């Protein structure tokens, strides 16, 4: 009875689909099958190489299981998105794998299997909130320019009232030159701020004319200063708050060339800066070189987790749906067989385990 139970458990274990780590090429001993050349798009966590050149990721493990069940031997070759699609279309590659989005343009060149993963574009932005960040975002240049202008005009008004009052009003504006000019500056400052202590008052006609002009000018200058600082703070606050993709037209945006992010941005006429990969884009956000970096959301989350404690966050929402599939040449006889195995694997416990391993999905 014990032997029968052990045998049943062994059969059950063999029947359960698992996704083990897969080497860079998986030979299958079938002399009738030629070795396939499979293009791989570097797109963690779906496909990437570690330091030893070992290929891993969700798409790599899924393809390895499909190839194992179909008794296919293959070699993996690194390719970017454009080379992958062009190579599959020209049949230089039998299959293209990775986080490859199905798009109308690509559909015209190659065929696709059933999707194995659906997601959307994500947006990485600078993480705000600390006191240091708030001070960093203050419009110091505008504040300094406004204060400098006020100080210069106050000095001019103080000097003019001193010139007009130094002889006719020596008690308040007389004495040594530095004392007289200092008194004029004090009078101009308290007049500008509408404090008006009354301890110093022009007596001459010229001095009072200067006082009237300075009082009227003070009202305008104070209002202008307040408006300048308020406007600068408001614009700065708006620029530092990103609510979603609707804010992209007013932001400095980054993306990776040849990806579906570019198509999304081009269709909406949003200007952007190109980066070689997501790592460089996320670091550009951390340096405030750009306001937002656009890429497929799971790629952003995975790469951000690898980079450590960057002051960057991925927005919670997605936009521009992306369906990942394997690319194959048009009319390939592999398509129906791959689809059969693929659909069965996606319903297996092993697929959920694979997602949890790389994405933390429940």
Q: What is the pLDDT of residues 301-327, one digit of tens each?
A: 989 988 888 889 898 889 988 999 999
Question: Which of these ranges, 18-32, 116-130, 133-147, 343-357, has the smallest mean pLDDT?
Answer: 18-32
**CATH 1.10.287.70 boundaries in the chain:** 139-240
Mean pLDDT of 234-250: 69
**Topology (CATH level 3) of domain 139-240:** Helix Hairpins (1.10.287)
Q: Who has greater pLDDT, 100 or 51? A: 100
Stretch 328-338: mean pLDDT, rounded? 95
What is the third-level CATH fold of 17-116+325-359?
Answer: D-Maltodextrin-Binding Protein; domain 2 (3.40.190)
Query: What is the pLDDT at residue 32?
Result: 64
Location of each CATH 3.40.190.10 domain in the chain: 17-116+325-359, 242-319
Q: How far apart are CA 178 and CA 329, in angstroms?
A: 88
pLDDT, mean of residues 125-146:
66
CATH code at 242-319 = 3.40.190.10
Mean pLDDT of 89-110: 94
The pLDDT score that the predictor gives to residue 138 is 62
pLDDT confidence tier of residue 1, bands split at 50, 70 and 90: very low
Among 239, 276, 283, 241, CA closest to 255 = 276
pLDDT at 217: 81
What are the backbone angles phi and psi of residue 360, rounded to the nearest 5°? 75, 15
Q: What whole-number distance in Å separates Cα of residue 263 and Cα of residue 254?
A: 13
Give me the DSSP letters along 221-288.
Answer: HHHHHHHHHHHHHHHHHHHH---SGGGGGGS-EEEETTSHHHHHHHHTT---EEESSHHHHHHHHHTT
Q: Is the pLDDT of residue 149 over 70?
A: yes
Q: For residue 28, what pLDDT is reported? A: 46
What is the model's pLDDT at position 235? Answer: 54
Q: What is the pTM of this model?
A: 0.60
């Amino acid at each position: 009875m014990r032997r029968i139970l052990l045998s049943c458990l062994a059969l059950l274990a063999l029947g359960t689909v698992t996704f083990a780590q897969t080497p860079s090429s998986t030979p299958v001993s079938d002399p009738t099958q030629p070795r396939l050349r499979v293009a791989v798009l570097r797109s963690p966590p779906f496909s990437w190489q570690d330091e030893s050149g070992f290929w891993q990721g969700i798409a790599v493990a899924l393809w390895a299981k499909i190839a194992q069940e179909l008794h296919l031997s293959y070699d993996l070759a690194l390719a970017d998105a454009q080379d992958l699609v062009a190579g599959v279309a020209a049949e230089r590659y039998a299959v293209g794998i990775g986080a490859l989005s199905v798009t109308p343009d690509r559909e015209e060149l190659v065929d696709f299997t059933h999707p194995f993963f659906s997601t959307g574009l994500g947006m990485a932005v600078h993480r705000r909130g600390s006191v240091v960040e708030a001070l960093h975002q203050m419009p110091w240049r505008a504040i300094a320019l406004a204060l400098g202008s006020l100080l210069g005009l106050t000095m001019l008004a103080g000097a003019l009232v001193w010139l007009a009052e130094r002889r006719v009003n020596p008690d308040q504006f007389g004495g040594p030159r530095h004392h007289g000019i200092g008194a004029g500056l004090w009078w101009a400052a308290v007049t500008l701020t509408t404090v008006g202590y009354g301890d110093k008052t022009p007596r001459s006609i010229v001095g009072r004319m200067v006082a009237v002009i300075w009082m009227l000018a003070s009202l305008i200058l104070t209002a202008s200063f307040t408006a300048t600082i308020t406007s600068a703070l408001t614009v700065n606050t708006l620029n530092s708050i990103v609510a979603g993709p609707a804010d992209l037209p007013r932001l400095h945006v980054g993306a990776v060339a040849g990806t579906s992010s570019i198509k999304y941005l081009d269709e909406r006429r949003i200007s952007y800066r190109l980066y070689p990969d997501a790592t460089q884009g996320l670091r550009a956000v951390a340096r405030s070189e750009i306001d937002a970096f656009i890429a497929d959301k799971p790629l952003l989350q995975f790469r951000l987790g690898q980079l450590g404690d960057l002051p960057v966050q991925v927005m919670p929402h997605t936009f521009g749906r992306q369906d990942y599939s394997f690319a194959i040449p048009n009319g390939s006889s592999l398509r129906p067989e791959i689809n059969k195995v693929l659909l069965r694997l996606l319903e297996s416990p092993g697929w959920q385990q694979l997602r949890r391993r790389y994405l933390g999905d429940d």
